[in-house]
Amino acid sequence: MGEYIFGFLEGELKQNYYGSLCTEMYEILHEQAPQDELDFYLSYAENGKKILEPLCGSGRFFVPFLERGFDISGMDLSGEMLAKLKQKVPDAKVIQVDIIDYVVQEQFDYIFIPSGSISLFTDMKMCQGILQKMKGLLAPGGKFVFAVDTIFDRCEEESNYKVNVSVKTKEGYDLILKGKNHYDEKSQTQFSPSIYELYHGAELLQRETMDFQTHLYQYGEMDEYLRRCGFKNISVYSNYQKEPAVNDQCKMFIYECGI
């Protein structure tokens, strides 16, 4: 049965925590970073400068930076995701910690958070605390670059679970993702509770639930949070070609700012 254990994950999972089955599917579907997105974030990197990728996950951005010789550190809450990263680069400078609790005695010249991951923080007070944390970790003259999802990216309402993705693991098992969606207009939160199931034929080997939520941003909303935290020289783009965002009719806002 390989590395899998028969049984169910009991108890309440932390919001947006990437467990073992979620990590397995993520690796199958997103092992490599999209080239245009990777090139965009690499364009800010310089040799001899310290780089930090919070929320580095299983390393689809982190590893290419490391392979190019950049001095990069990372952190993530998911031990399952970091284990995958460590399989790829055992000596990677990464630690398992909640981003709000991340404390180091150094500053970084470049901090980046790709793939809209900041949208995973749906409590706006916590999100602003994280932005303040990033400001404290940024060296003078450094850049903080990240992306968030927009309200244009909201999903259609679905009241019942349905199979969204089905993949084969390397062991030949079927790994299935079931999900549904609800968007709360007032909080701008996309709720997408998910169920991951691993099958060997008709036999259910493992089930894992995920409380997946994202905050979808309106145009100008994040800009205000950044200004409150003291960030300056704020640029916002609608794509990786750095076309300026002029409204929220785009799937993401990409921010570049300093202190």
Q: Please state whether the predicted TM-score (pTM) of the whole model is above 0.75.
A: yes
Measured CA to CA in angstroms, residue 224 lies from 143, 148, 170 at distances of 18, 14, 46
Question: For residue 32, how many C-alpha atoms fall within 13 Å in the half-sphere facing its CB?
Answer: 4
Tens digits of per-residue pLDDT, 42-100?
Answer: 999 999 999 999 999 999 999 999 999 999 999 999 999 999 999 999 999 999 999 99
Tens digits of per-residue pLDDT, 145-161?
Answer: 999 999 999 999 999 99
pLDDT of residue 15: 85
* CA 195 remoteness from chain centre: 19
Q: Does position 124 have pLDDT exceeding 70, yes or no?
A: yes
Tens digits of per-residue pLDDT, 31-43?
Answer: 899 999 999 999 9
Find the range with the poorest average confidence among 4-8, 82-86, 120-124, 153-157: 4-8
Q: Across residues 101-118, what is the average pLDDT?
A: 95
